[in-house]
């Protein structure tokens, strides 16, 4: 899995047997600055973009193969026991609405199958969009399979580049949606001013103060008021979106603090508006490690348990990669992977394309 944050590749080895589900090994391979810059450039129309996209798909296939080798420590025997590789690819466009109805996750899956000599499942989102859905988020079905508890009304919050929530209640239909920017805008602002990929533990944000008028302008975007099903990405929340809301002269750390508050506000407001009965909230994704954000959410969700998914048996950093292993298994077994009540699709569909070994 490589997500909207563009920090690198998360690889997991999981056993999804009949008797158990077990996360066996994990491995992270970071993107270098050149690769990240090229991927960011493909977020927008530019010259020679078809050629560049094809070249980047090949480069990503090679990088994913290297991540798999790192995960398996180049153990050929272990690789031969792997039934399939679920590969999400790198999202460079996500436009499921406004008459466009497409999403692009870059990877040359055929090349990845060739490099690893292992069956690859990729392109998970397109079928849901073809069926009238948003194509995202796709993780709620996995959250339900692993984290449902009949004794609790539980929310799973994934804070990656974009934040999304899943509502788990044994007595209600499974629902969830993208609720707004997670780390994406904070990371971009931090990189621009500090030259650092992210604000570790939210320390820079903690040095600033919330700018109420700016927060109000941020939150006035139509996306936040629109009802689910909904999904979003860099196609909306990019650096230019941030710049359009600034008057100039704001303290950079105040802007960072306000962006952190925007992430918290979008999550808390979504929970309070749509799922007021929630009694437990579990966080995953890179943003779950931002201590200032974690504490802000805990304060604003007072009266509810707020913790990491580590307490549910899956470390917060690896939930999404694990989800796409599970989705790949669904595809291999001919089982549906989307949830119409989440994405808005016309019905359940088997997701993904299979590239046999």
Residues 6+ apart with CB under 8 A from 310: 316
Q: Is the pLDDT of residue 76 over 90?
A: no
pLDDT in tens, 27-57: 999 999 999 999 999 988 888 999 999 999 9
Contact 217, 241 (CB under 8 A): no
Dump pLDDT digits (tens) for 204-221: 999 999 999 999 999 999
Q: What is the pLDDT of residues 125-172, one digit of tens each?
A: 999 999 999 999 999 999 999 999 999 999 999 999 999 999 999 999
Give the per-residue pLDDT at 77.
85
**Model confidence over 14-25: pLDDT tens digits?**
999 877 889 999
Structure token pair of residue 199: 């604000």
Domain ranges of the chain: 8-135+318-355, 140-317
CATH architecture of 140-317: 2-Layer Sandwich (3.30)
Residue 182 and residue 163 in contact, taking contact as beta carbons nearer than 8 Å:
yes
Tens-digit pLDDT profile for residues 296-315 = 999 999 999 999 999 999 99
| CATH topology agreement for domains 8-135+318-355 and 140-317 | yes
The tokens of 225 are what? 């008021």
Q: Which residues contact 266 (CB under 8 A, 6 or more apart)?
A: 163, 179, 180, 181, 219, 224
C-alpha dist (Å) from residue 321 to 170, 254, 273: 25, 33, 29
Q: Which CATH class is domain 8-135+318-355?
A: alpha beta
pLDDT of residue 73: 93
Mean pLDDT across 272-283:
97
């Amino acid at each position: 899995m490589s997500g909207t944050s563009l920090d690198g590749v998360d690889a997991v080895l999981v056993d999804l047997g009949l008797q158990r589900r077990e996360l066996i090994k994990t491995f992270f391979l970071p993107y270098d600055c050149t690769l990240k810059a090229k991927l960011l450039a493909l977020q927008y129309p530019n010259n020679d973009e078809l050629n560049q996209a094809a070249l980047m798909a090949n480069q990503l296939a090679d990088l994913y193969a290297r991540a798999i080798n790192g995960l398996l420590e180049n153990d050929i025997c272990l690789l031969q026991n792997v039934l399939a590789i679920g590969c999400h690819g790198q999202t460079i466009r996500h436009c499921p609405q406004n008459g466009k109805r497409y999403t692009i996750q870059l990877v040359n899956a055929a090349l990845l199958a060739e490099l690893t000599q292992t069956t690859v499942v990729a392109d998970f989102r397109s079928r849901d969009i073809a069926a009238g859905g948003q194509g995202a988020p796709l993780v709620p079905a996995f959250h339900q399979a692993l984290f449902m508890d009949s004794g609790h009304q539980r929310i799973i919050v994934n804070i990656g580049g974009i934040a999304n929530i899943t509502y788990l209640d044994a007595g209600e239909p499974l629902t969830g949606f993208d609720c707004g920017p997670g780390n994406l805008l904070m990371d971009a602002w931090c990189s621009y001013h500090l030259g650092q990929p992210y604000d570790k533990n939210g320390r820079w944000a903690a040095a600033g103060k919330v700018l109420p008028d700016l927060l109000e302008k941020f939150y006035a975007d139509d996306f936040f008021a629109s009802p689910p099903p909904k999904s979003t990405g860099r196609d909306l929340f990019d650096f230019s979106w941030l710049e359009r809301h600034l008057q100039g002269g704001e303290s950079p750390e105040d802007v960072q603090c306000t962006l952190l508050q925007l992430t918290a506000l979008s999550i808390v407001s979504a929970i309070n508006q749509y799922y007021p009965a929630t009694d437990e909230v579990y966080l995953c994704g890179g943003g779950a490690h931002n201590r200032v954000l974690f504490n802000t959410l805990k304060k604003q969700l007072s009266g509810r348990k707020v913790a990491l998914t580590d307490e549910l048996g899956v470390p917060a950093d690896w939930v999404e990669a694990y989800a796409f292993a599970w989705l790949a298994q669904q595809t291999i077994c001919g089982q549906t992977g989307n949830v119409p009540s989440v994405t808005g699709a016309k019905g359940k569909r088997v997701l993904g394309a299979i590239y046999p070994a």
